[in-house]
Amino acid sequence: MTGRHPRDPDRNRKPDMNLTTKGLTATTGLCAATAGAIFIGVQINHPPADVTHIVTTELLIRETAKAVMAVLALTGFTGMFLHQRHRLGVLGLTGYLLLTIGYLALFAIECVVGYVLPIVARTDPAYVQNVIEEAVGGPASGQIGHLHELFLLSGIGYSLGGLLFGIALFRAAELARWAAALLAVATTSALALSVLPDAFNRPFAVPTGIALIGLGLSLWRVRHISPATTQVVPAGRSASVR
């Protein structure tokens, strides 16, 4: 007897990376679904886009929620891409990169509108009104500086990125295909806002929110799909029940 305890076979066992990956994937799915719910929620009874409302607490809360939505959506898109990156190909990578640029620009815009413009409105309301005009999809009646490029990046990334990424997700056929198709259509249709009345701004956001919820819940379900369910049982042999 050496006095040594028998080696515990579980002592040096590494964490199950498969379970860890599934957990992260499920989390990103919930992030996407939450982003979709927020995107829809902030459109309900949204106040008019004008200088009078830009300084209110309600708008500050809504813009903060939109900024959070952008971060959650980016997290969800990243989970979708990493989960099926081998199937998405160049089209999916291009769409994902464009969406990343678009939503980062969107996050910056929401922060500017929520935290900077209310301060500027006290001294230069005309400039703030110009920014609001371009923010809702119309041409600004005056100069707004480099915010114009930021709006442009957001629009291209949101619309073109959503179209390409939606098509890639639809072709990969791992997540809900109806939600992937809806993402492609909804984000592209936002381009029409530049020629439509302001009243269309809020309803046009709802389909994108629904698409995010559908894709997010579909990604979340990946965690609950056991690998055993995908195994092929040879003909004539029944699976044992434990």
Q: What is the pLDDT of residues 109-124, one digit of tens each?
A: 999 999 999 999 989 9
Please check whether residue 27 lies inside any domain of the structure: yes
Q: pTM for the whole thing?
A: 0.81
Domain count, the chain: 1
Please check whether residue 201 lies inside any domain of the structure: yes
Between 179 and 6, the higher pLDDT residue: 179
Rounded to 5°, angle at Cα 143 from 140 and 144: 85
Mean pLDDT of 11-26: 67
Please check whether residue 122 lies inside any domain of the structure: yes
Among 43-57, 165-179, 183-197, 228-242, name the most confident range.
165-179
Domain holding 80, by residue range, is 17-222
Query: What are 105's two structure tokens?
Result: 């620009």
Please check whether residue 236 lies inside any domain of the structure: no
- DSSP codes joined into one string, 56-91: SHHHHHHHHHHHHHHHHHHHHHHHHHHHTHHHHHHH
Please check whether residue 229 lies inside any domain of the structure: no
pLDDT of residue 242: 36
pLDDT of residue 180: 96
DSSP 43: T
In the block, tokens 């160049």 appear at 90
> Which pLDDT tens digit goes with each residue over 121-167?
989 999 988 888 887 766 677 788 888 899 999 989 999 999 999 99
Please check whether residue 9 lies inside any domain of the structure: no
- pLDDT of 219 above 90: yes
Between 48 and 171, the higher pLDDT residue: 171
Please check whether residue 81 lies inside any domain of the structure: yes
Please check whether residue 85 lies inside any domain of the structure: yes
